[in-house]
Structure 1
């Protein structure tokens, strides 16, 4: 996984489609989701690269599209939010997967009292999904995981657990970064290009698998086992490489 051998250069980047996770990939991990930000220099690089690849640049994140937009403002990029439950096409058309939002609300109601009882945990209601964070309360990891599983089980025909770094999410069963990336790669100007996908978390592994099946380039950010072929240690290291393209 030597980053120096990544087969994407300033000479050939125009033949690629660039897809990025957000938190832990473009934005350094923050104590809470609300504190995350994409460094200004990284935003400048993304803006330049979007032009270089003819608009074939997208964000594929577990965040809602509205939060993605806020973090990359003033750009409004093609992308997928909530692990693919939402997506924006290159022409700006917005889509949402049909989701039982009443079931999401019931799961939030079941978990909210626990988040209040366990200091340092945070329950994030994302509309079509939810996330139970324990980054600031690592001793509660097992309790959070068990509680999320219990809340999800009555709705297991429509929702699944998605473990992540210091978080457990409950997302629509058919939402995945693999499906989101495959959908985007079928649209102009992405179609016919070689995909490049960078991500840092467990949810990105499905995206890596999809991109590898397309003959693309997969880049893991940070530590941990991964099917990705290349790796950078930090978002800053990824941004420094992108600045060379």
Structure 2
């Protein structure tokens, strides 16, 4: 991979210099494959113990505002990792819970879904509702289909994209997962929204944004951070990523977070 390893001394020093020049650092983190090792069963994919411990330390710092950005439903994400002074963005940012607001925010809730799009969506839902080989997760405004085979996922992905072309829904592909969700919103738009909310609430101007993620859905966030620091966590897919830097695995993510917290 033609990317820079962010834990190399020179790259780490560069990152620390950037952090020192900003009023605050907005740290955006994907969950699965980034903070937690990837698991076939999503409910067993817990963050590494040292990762949760260091995040609790970082969120108390005056230097950082932490936001978790995941494809998981908001309610499920909050059960997987418990932080009290951080922001949560579930369902790729379609539902956002910020620690300084009273209610969950649905920034894309006003999009109207036409009848034909709804019909196609319902067709897929009914088709996989009782499937034994594919686990269907109903998120309310979207569906996630978990596959036990990448070959099967790839086969269905082509059909899904053809079916939902020019509709109000988009098809997102992840690690053994396909998601059908309202078009026009992604992790990139979500982190821009969260950034604007933080800057306005705390009257900030000069912020550094860091995004760490491992999945295809994180590429939208990498593209949105042209002025920030983007870090790809490697997995078996080994993406041709837009990120500038890389880490090798979630254990590396924990190492980086420790460095940011001032631990050796």
> What TM-score range do you get, normalising by the shorter chain?
0.7 to 0.9
Per-residue displacement from partner, 1:124-148 (whole Å, max 9, x unpaired)? 11112111121x2233123321443
The residue number in structure 2 matching 1:36 is 45
Distance 1:151 1:34 in 2: 30
Q: In terms of mean alpha carbon deviation, does 56-65 or 181-190 score higher?
A: 181-190
Q: In terms of mean alpha carbon deviation, does 123-132 or 92-101 score higher?
A: 92-101
Trace 1:102-117 onto structure 2 (pairs within 5 A): 107=121, 110-114=124-128, 116-117=130-131
The residue number in structure 1 matching 2:95 is 86
Structure 2 residue 223 is matched with structure 1 residue 220 = no
Could you say which structure has the larger radius of gyration?
2
Distance 1:197 1:181 in 2: 9
The residue number in structure 2 matching 1:70 is 79
Trace 1:122-137 onto structure 2 (pairs within 5 A): 122-134=135-147, 136-137=148-149
In the alignment, structure 1 segments of 5+ residues that lack a partner are none
Q: Which of residues 213, 217, 221 in structure 2 aligns to 1:203?
A: 217
Per-residue displacement from partner, 1:173-206 (whole Å, max 9, x unpaired)? 1221111111111123475310000011111111
Report the Cα offset of residue 66 of structure 1: 0.7
Report the Cα offset of residue 2 of structure 1: 2.1
Q: Which of residues 139, 153, 158 in structure 1 aligns to 2:168?
A: 158
Q: In terms of mean alpha carbon deviation, does 179-188 or 89-98 score higher?
A: 89-98
Report the Cα offset of residue 108 of structure 1: 5.2
In the alignment, structure 2 segments of 5+ residues that lack a partner are none
> Residue 57 of structure 1 aligns to a residue in which SS?
strand
Q: Is the 8 Å Cα contact of residues 14 and 53 (structure 1) preserved in structure 2? A: no
Per-residue displacement from partner, 1:142-171 (whole Å, max 9, x unpaired)? 332144336535xx4321111112211112
Runs of 4+ in 1 over 2 A off after TM superposition: 6-15, 74-77, 99-117, 141-144, 146-153, 187-192
What is the aligned length?
Answer: 239
Q: Is the 8 Å Cα contact of residues 104 and 129 (structure 1) preserved in structure 2? A: no
Report the Cα offset of residue 32 of structure 1: 1.9
> Residue 211 of structure 2 aligns to a residue in which SS?
strand
Report the Cα offset of residue 22 of structure 1: 0.8
Q: Is the 8 Å Cα contact of residues 69 and 76 (structure 1) preserved in structure 2? A: no
Report the Cα offset of residue 20 of structure 1: 0.4
Distance 1:234 1:147 in 2: 32
Give the alignment's Cα RMSD to 1 decimal: 2.7
Report the Cα offset of residue 239 of structure 1: 0.7
> Residue 226 of structure 1 aligns to a residue in which SS?
coil
Q: Is the 8 Å Cα contact of residues 14 and 52 (structure 1) preserved in structure 2? A: no
Distance 1:100 1:30 in 2: 35
